[in-house]
Amino acid sequence: MKFKFWGVRGSIPTPGPATVKYGGNTTCIEITTENNDLIILDAGTGIHPLGQSLLKKLPVKAHIFISHTHWDHIQGLPFFPPIFIPGNEINIYGGLDPVTNEGIERALGVQLQYSYFPIREAELNASINYSTIKPGNAVTIEETKITPTLLSHPVLNFGYRIDSHGQSLFFTGDYEPIFNIYLPEDSEYEEYQSFIDQKQQEIALAIKGIDVLIIDSSYTTEEYAFKQGWGHGTYASAIKLATEANVKKLFFTHHEPTRTDDQLDAIYKQLKKENPNLDFEIVLAKEGCDFFT
Amino acid sequence: MPSIHNKELIAFVEKMPAFPKSVQRVVQLTSDINAPAKEIVRVIESDPVMTVKILKVINSAFYGLPQKITSIQRAVVHIGLNTIKNLALSVAAMGVLKPTNKAEFNTQDFLLHSLTTASICRLLAEKLNVKSSECSDFFVAGLLHDFGKIVFAEFDPDNFKLALEKSAEENISLHDAEIEFMGISHAQAGKILAERWELDPILIDAIENHHNSKNNSQLKDCIFTANQISKKLQFGFSGNPIIEENSEELIPRFNLTLEDLIVSLGDLTPIKSEALSFINS
């Protein structure tokens, strides 16, 4: 399968001269299967230029999988031009919010309100279908299987595994590896750690045998010391997971919004220096390039 | 014989608020961005209403978990602290359980009994060398074993009052009196609710059978015994005057009499004082 990043930035779009190389749009990944099925992972601002590119290929049939409903992963949805054009079919998938008990339809509905947007949901001309999906229950589109896994973030977040024609890719959405909330001297420490270990095994199983891992690696290890609990991973935690999963290629994404192109290049150089013997390729996700699994 | 309609019972509990101190603490802790995660977990797991409401959400089929979640700690690992925090806040937003009710059932004494039973249940599990990954399940089972009573006090206070009075006057077990006046015992009501909320079958079974001393699992034995110890030491009161164990008989799983078992557990008063710190404002 072919995939392309349309948005690699975390939290907020960051246009400007310092982000020209890697891009300033928030998360959006386009996947095209061998059958030409279109799968879109997340609908950050990157989905706007993706939508523009699709206008040459009408009618559009798209399957949009939302990892979670934080703004930077849904804010491009009202600006995805295919939703306004009759004859297009847009299928949106995501989880049930445990706090509000609402399905994924809220991701678009909440934005299409009078105060925030001029067009109401009823006025969209494409056929729009919502599917609230459950972790572990795969969605099948032709010969492609998309399986959600619950991953730790300050809101319900799905990582998605895509298996298609013998190749596989896993995208974490936003993900912070779970840490122990107790100190080693607390009586609850050991028990809590055993829960974490069980959850890690579940994640290991979900990513077993994948070719490509696209992972939230917002921070350096030094930065993370001040950002624990914010819901994002580090370059080091990404390399650790990729090593355990024995992947072929690792993509770092969700670049920290204040990070410039030069800083990203410097981080990459440092990572190569610190990890000279990796069995897989490491890549900084960058807007606009085509990759193949 | 009157009987409770399950649907009404379930709908009623949906709207039931949590205990005052935990509501107050949840509001405080969720307003402090630096509040320690373990503090939030402790507050939630010291309130049976908050605990069941969170377990209910997380065990729903929508999260397709490979195994049932039986404790708040497990819930935090699976779905994240912020979601649990916000779930607790949504329970807090329902208001607080009134300290007095028409049944004249003392909710503070009830909570003290539930909390001390929970802690003793975990102690007994440790004594039986239960795996550390399962000890919090024992705590939750102890916390929830009498959940049906607080529901009765709110849902059907007139009949529950009659049951409490008869149990006290005639020195008979409260669950028998409940069946006479309400057609259902708190253990059965707890089971109906726990089933509806898709809780772990082991937990459902333990709630249903916590007065059954025979043919038990490790969890049931621990709840049964912890319940008797809490009553014997008068840590709070949950309306039942009967201690269901002849102190001269050996408790099979522990091979000790109830009194010897209590002695073997050491000083249990810190359990009571700790529980009280979660109850009193």
Q: Which residues of B touch A (CB under 8 A)?
A: 36-38, 41, 57-58, 60-66, 73-74, 76-83, 86-87, 90, 131-133, 135-136
pLDDT at B3 over 70: no
Closest CA to A27 of A68, A87, A82: A68
Q: Which residues are registered as beta bridge partners of A128?
A: A90
Query: What integer pLDDT is reported at residue A115 of this predicted model?
Result: 95
Distance CA A170, CA A163 (A): 9
For residues B70 and B203, the answer to whether their CB atoms sit within 8 Å is yes
Could you read off the pLDDT of A253-280 as tens digits, one per residue?
999 999 999 999 999 999 999 999 999 9
Query: Residue B244: pLDDT band by 50, 70, 90 thresholds?
Result: confident
DSSP-based three-state secondary structure for A283: strand
DSSP A151-165: --SSS--EEEEEEET
Mean pLDDT calculated for residue range A84-110: 96
- Asked if B87's CB is within 8 angstroms of A134's CB, the reply is no
DSSP-based three-state secondary structure for A282: strand
DSSP-based three-state secondary structure for A234: strand
Distance CA B68, CA A82 (A): 41
Give burial (CB, 10 Å; 0-12/13-18/19+) of A118.
exposed
- Asked if B61's CB is within 8 angstroms of A134's CB, the reply is yes
Tell which phi-psi region holds residue B104, choosing left (phi > 0), alpha (psi between -120 and 50) or beta: left
Search chain A and give the residue with CA nearest B133. Answer: A191
Beta pairing class for A61-65 and A38-41: parallel
Percent of chain A with pLDDT over 70: 100
Please indicate whether residue B252 or residue A281 has the higher confidence score (pLDDT).
A281
Mean pLDDT calculated for residue range B189-203: 93
- Asked if A99's CB is within 8 angstroms of B74's CB, the reply is no
* CB interface of A with B, residues 41-100, below 8 Å: 95-96, 98-99
Mean pLDDT calculated for residue range B262-279: 94
For residues B21 and B279, the answer to whether their CB atoms sit within 8 Å is yes
Query: Residue B246: pLDDT band by 50, 70, 90 thresholds?
Result: low
CA distance to partner chain A, nearest, from residue B33 (Å):
11
Search chain A and give the residue with CA nearest B134. Answer: A191
CA distances from A132 to A91, A101, A110 (A): 11, 11, 16
The predicted complex's ipTM stands at 0.94
Q: Which residues are registered as beta bridge partners of A283?
A: A251
Please indicate whether residue A211 or residue B67 has the higher confidence score (pLDDT).
A211
Query: Residue A246: pLDDT band by 50, 70, 90 thresholds?
Result: very high
Could you read off the pLDDT of B101-126 as tens digits, one per residue?
999 999 999 999 999 999 999 999 99
For residues A42 and A281, the answer to whether their CB atoms sit within 8 Å is no
DSSP A24-68: -PBSEEEEE-TT--EEEE--STTHHHHHHHHGGGPSPEEEEE-S-
Mean of all residue pLDDT scores within chain A: 97
pLDDT at B281 over 80: no
Mean pLDDT calculated for residue range B17-31: 95
Query: What integer pLDDT is reported at residue B250 of this predicted model?
Result: 76
Give the number of other Cβ atoms within 10 Å of residue A194's Cβ.
18
Query: What integer pLDDT is reported at residue A93 of this predicted model?
Result: 98
C-alpha triplet B119, B122, B123: angle, nearest 5°: 85
CA distance to partner chain B, nearest, from residue A154 (Å):
5
Residue B98's φ and ψ, nearest 5 degrees, are: -70, 140
Distance CA B219, CA B202 (A): 8
Angle, helices B147-155 vs B107-127, to 10°: value is 170
DSSP-based three-state secondary structure for B215: coil
CA distance to partner chain A, nearest, from residue B194 (Å):
18
Could you read off the pLDDT of B60-91 as tens digits, one per residue?
888 878 789 999 999 999 999 999 999 999 99
- Asked if B87's CB is within 8 angstroms of A181's CB, the reply is no
Query: Residue B5: pLDDT band by 50, 70, 90 thresholds?
Result: confident
How long a stretch of residues is chain A? 293
Rg (CA), chain B: 18
Could you read off the pLDDT of A104-151 as tens digits, one per residue?
999 999 999 999 999 999 999 999 999 999 999 999 999 999 999 999
CA distance to partner chain A, nearest, from residue B266 (Å):
18
Mean pLDDT calculated for residue range A8-32: 98
Give burial (CB, 10 Å; 0-12/13-18/19+) of A187.
exposed
No. of H helices and E strands in chain B? 16, 2
- Asked if A198's CB is within 8 angstroms of B81's CB, the reply is no
Beta pairing class for A158-164 and A144-150: antiparallel
Distance CA A291, CA A171 (A): 14
pLDDT at B161 over 90: yes
Testing the interface with B: which of A192, A197, A200 to mutate, by most B Cβ within 10 A?
A192
Query: What integer pLDDT is reported at residue B61 of this predicted model?
Result: 83
Q: Please tell me the least confidently modeled range out of A52-61, A246-255, B211-220, B266-275.
A: B211-220
Query: What integer pLDDT is reported at residue A271 of this predicted model?
Result: 98
pLDDT at B1 over 60: no
Q: Which residues contact B198 (CB under 8 A, 6 or more apart)?
A: B56, B59, B60, B61, B68
Mean pLDDT calculated for residue range B238-247: 82
CA distances from B131 to B44, B70, B136, B137, B251 (A): 23, 15, 10, 11, 22
pTM: 0.94
For the four alpha carbons of A35, A41, A46 and A51, in that order, the dihedral sign comes to: positive
Could you read off the pLDDT of A39-62 as tens digits, one per residue?
999 999 999 999 999 999 999 999
Distance of CA B148 to the CA centre of its chain: 9
Distance CA B47, CA B42 (A): 9
Query: What integer pLDDT is reported at residue B2 of this predicted model?
Result: 57
CA distance to partner chain B, nearest, from residue A156 (Å):
7
Mean pLDDT calculated for residue range A81-109: 96
Could you read off the pLDDT of B30-63 as tens digits, one per residue?
999 999 999 999 999 999 999 999 999 999 888 8
Cis peptide before A177 (omega within 30 of 0): no
pLDDT at B247 over 90: no
Search chain B and give the residue with CA nearest A153. Answer: B80
Mean pLDDT calculated for residue range A236-256: 97
Query: What integer pLDDT is reported at residue B248 of this predicted model?
Result: 66
Q: What does the DSSP 8-state code read for residue B18?
A: B
DSSP-based three-state secondary structure for B95: coil
pLDDT at B4 over 80: no
Percent of chain B with pLDDT over 70: 97
